[in-house]
């Protein structure tokens, strides 16, 4: 398994990561342990979770599954998932409260990468950065990152960190896939300019880029594509894009899943591709399919197909 540094940090992560959003929701504690063990066996050392996943159980199940192997892996978690329109999810109080909850749930005295889950228009980013800097100084957090940021927000946060002598964000976690390429417009450029490693989530568009759901067919029972939020991926535009991609993969002797994951992993700005899993077999398959051998020309071809 190839490894990369997360931005300008010394965090070394596997290019295939494991998203832990299913833990505590679609995977109980026993199944979580099976998935985590399979991930480690496949060479994955990067686990991404959040305080809000599974009502807090994701962190708890992950920490329990890792046990004494904690120091062998890199754990990223997130704070500040808003619960209402007036929630100050980036406030100092939120940072300080939720970091203690995460440390307790994970059974760890430090977090490798602590990320602001969503931007907070009600709290100045300087307040958030000052609180996070204190956690880095205290040794509770090694590095900090952001999630769901725009290009200008990345630039703004970096300028404040630089001028105020605070810890900088080293990573960005945004949605990115062959069906959701919005970050390619300006956000990737901001990450390159300010040294942030990219951690794409929903790289398979919640399963649409596996090719298992065809036009006019209902999603398999138990698939999250049955939920209204994710069902939005199932539309004629995306089905047409998937069909074009399937034709390309057939010509090049690759699977659709492999191309979807490798399109992201082959970009040098990507640190680790975060794919979720609900079974040991799925995490092993995703790890094997995450390759870095697509050329810039091939990535441009694929981008043209889904433009």
Q: Is the dihedral of CA 90, 91, 93, 95 positive or negative?
A: positive
Residues 95, 77: Cα–Cα separation, whole Å: 12
Q: Determine the Cα–Cα distance for residues 104 and 158; give it in Å rounded to an integer.
A: 30
Rounded Cα distance between 36 and 52, Å, is: 19
Kindly state the DSSP code that residue 232 receives in the 8-state scheme.
Answer: T
Q: Is 249 helix (H, G, I), strand (E, B) or coil?
A: helix
Phi, psi (rounded to 5 degrees) for 270? -75, 130
Residue 30, both tokens? 């026993």
Phi and psi at 167, nearest 5°, equal -65, 140
With beta carbons less than 8 A apart as the criterion, state whether 289 and 249 touch. no
The owner of tokens 């205290």 is 138
Return the SS3 of 33: helix
For residue 230, give both structure tokens: 């994710």
> In this structure, what are the phi and psi dihedrals at residue 14, rounded to the nearest 5 degrees?
-70, 140
For 164, the token pair is: 């105020």
Any catalytic annotation for residue 53? yes
Q: Which of 53, 143, 201, 233 is catalytic?
A: 53
User: Which positions are catalytic?
Assistant: 53
């Amino acid at each position: 398994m190839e490894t990369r540094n997360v931005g300008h940090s010394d965090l070394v992560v596997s290019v295939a990561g494991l998203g832990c959003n299913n833990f505590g929701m679609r995977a109980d504690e026993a199944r979580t342990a099976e998935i985590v063990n399979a991930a480690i066996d496949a060479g994955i050392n990067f686990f991404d979770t959040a305080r809000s996943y599974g009502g807090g159980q994701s962190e708890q199940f992950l920490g329990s599954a890792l046990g004494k192997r904690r120091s062998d892996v890199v754990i990223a978690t997130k704070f500040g998932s808003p619960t209402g329109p007036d929630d100050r999810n980036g406030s100092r109080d939120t940072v300080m409260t939720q970091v203690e909850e995460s440390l307790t749930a994970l059974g760890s005295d430090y977090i490798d990468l602590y990320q602001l889950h969503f931007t907070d228009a009600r709290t100045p980013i300087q307040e958030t950065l000052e609180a996070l800097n204190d956690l880095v100084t205290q040794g509770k957090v090694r590095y900090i990152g952001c999630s769901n940021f725009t290009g200008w927000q990345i630039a703004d946060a970096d300028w404040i960190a630089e001028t105020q002598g605070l810890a900088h964000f080293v990573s960005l976690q945004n949605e990115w896939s062959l069906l959701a390429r919005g970050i390619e417009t300006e956000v990737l450029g901001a990450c390159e300019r300010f040294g942030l490693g990219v951690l794409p989530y929903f790289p398979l568009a919640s399963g649409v880029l596996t090719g298992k759901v065809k036009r006019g067919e209902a999603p398999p029972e138990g698939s999250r594509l049955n939920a209204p939020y994710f069902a939005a991926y199932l539309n004629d535009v995306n089905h047409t894009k998937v069909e074009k991609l399937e034709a390309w993969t057939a010509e090049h002797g690759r699977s659709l899943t492999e191309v979807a994951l490798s399109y992201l992993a082959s970009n040098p700005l990507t640190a680790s591709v975060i794919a979720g899993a609900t079974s040991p077999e799925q995490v092993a398959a995703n790890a094997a399919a995450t390759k870095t051998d697509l050329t810039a020309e091939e990535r441009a071809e694929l981008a043209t197909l889904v433009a």
